[in-house]
Each structure stands twice: as structure tokens, then as C-alpha cells.
Chains A and B, each alone.
Chain A
Amino acid sequence: GIQVEQSPPDLILQEGANSTLRCNFSDSVNNLQWFHQNPWGQLINLFYIPSGTKQNGRLSATTVATERYSLLYISSSQTTDSGVYFCAVDGDMRFGAGTRLTVKP
């Protein structure tokens, strides 16, 4: 099956800093989504982005389908951005291992 790799596994930032999270996948995909799992365990959909670029406030995402990767950008990070960020691909939504983000005040 398709392999999904995320990097970095852990990221610690000072409040106000910017960050880039990466998701690589081993085969072409028809569906790619980014999720945020908050410290209480709830998974929130951030973006549906099988290709192209989307922005939502301080967050944006870009998927380059031909090169099999997606990037999630977080600008001006806040403590509430802490948690784990996952990408999930294709119709049966296979997840990567995630990037654990800690934003310090």
C-alpha cells in the first residue's frame, strides 16, 4: 500500500515563529488531507488538498502531486497551535505518523 512519511517528527517553536511541515507519499493520490489533533485528542480537518495551494488564516498548504509531497505552513504560531499534525492520503485515508508541534509562550 501507499507509504506516508511526515517530517520533522517533533518541532518546538517560540510563539510568533513560522514553521513548515512536510508530508511525502510513495504513489500518486486522489485525496490528501491535513488534520490537527489537539491535546484533548480531537482530530480537526484543516485542508482537503490533493493538489495546488490553499490558505486559511495563518495556515496554508501546498501539494505538488507530481513530486509526491505536501507542505503545511504555519505562520505567527500561537500556543493553541500545539498538538500533532497529520496528513492522510487517498480514498481509504492512510495516515502518516504525524509531526508533534509544541509552541512555547
Chain B
Amino acid sequence: GAGVSQSPRYKVAKRGQDVALRCDPISGHVSLFWYQQALGQGPEFLTYFQNEAQLDKSGLPSDRFFAERPEGSVSTLKIQRTQQEDSAVYLCASSTYTEAFFGQGTRLTVV
């Protein structure tokens, strides 16, 4: 595709529900990143893939967060048993070895 695509754009989840957020990177981009951005804050690093290998998951806030990229293309960020503090915009980016390009994000609201 022409750019990084994220779905859904908006998600309202009841506390305790599991959610899955999808990221379709730019075709051929090796690297893929996930970030969490709270209102008024900068993007906080969650995890990073090169192809299908998850090279760094140090930013995942708890074991309720899980990310995968099984075929080195599409990635899914899963949050289990959502809590109110998980409410944020989740951003995905893909890159060559130089410039990164971001999707429009998924706004998650946990009620």
C-alpha cells in the first residue's frame, strides 16, 4: 500500500476485555515499531521488529501486552484484560534502515 495502515482507527473496550490492534506496514519495510502515546505526551516505545524477529520488547508495560509479526509483514498488538490506564493512541511505524513512516494510530478508550 501507499502508507502504513492501522485498524481499527477507534476502539472502545470495556475494562477486562481483550483487544487486538493491527498494523499493515509499507511493503518491503524490514523494521516495524509500536508506540503508546498518551494525551499531551510523546510516543513511548513499546516494541520493535526486524522482519519477524522481535528484537526489543522492553517497553511493553506488562505481560498483558503482546505483539507479533509472524510473517515479517502485518503486525498485531494484543492487550489482554484491558484496564483504564491502557487508554491511549497506539502508533505503528515501519522503516527502511533510515526513514520511518507512521500510521494514523488507533485510539483505544477503556471504559
Contacts and interface: CB of A to CB of B under 8 A. Distances in A.
Interface of A: 1, 31, 33, 35, 41-45, 48, 84, 86, 88, 91-98
Interface of B: 31, 33, 35, 41-45, 48, 55-56, 58, 89, 91, 93, 95, 97-102, 104-105
A43 B42 contact: no
Nearest to A6: B42
Nearest to A46: B99
A41 B105 contact: yes
A92 B48 contact: yes
Nearest to B31: A91
B93 A93 contact: yes
B82 to A, nearest CB: 21
A43 B91 contact: yes
Nearest to B50: A91
B45 A43 contact: no
A45 B42 contact: no
13 contacts: A1-B58, A31-B98, A41-B105, A43-B91, A44-B102, A45-B100, A92-B33, A93-B45, A93-B100, A95-B35, A95-B44, A95-B45, A96-B42
A102 B41 CA distance: 16
Contacts of A45: 99-102
A69 to B, nearest CB: 18
A97 B40 CA distance: 9
Given A31-B98, A43-B91, A95 B104 contact: no
Nearest to A30: B97
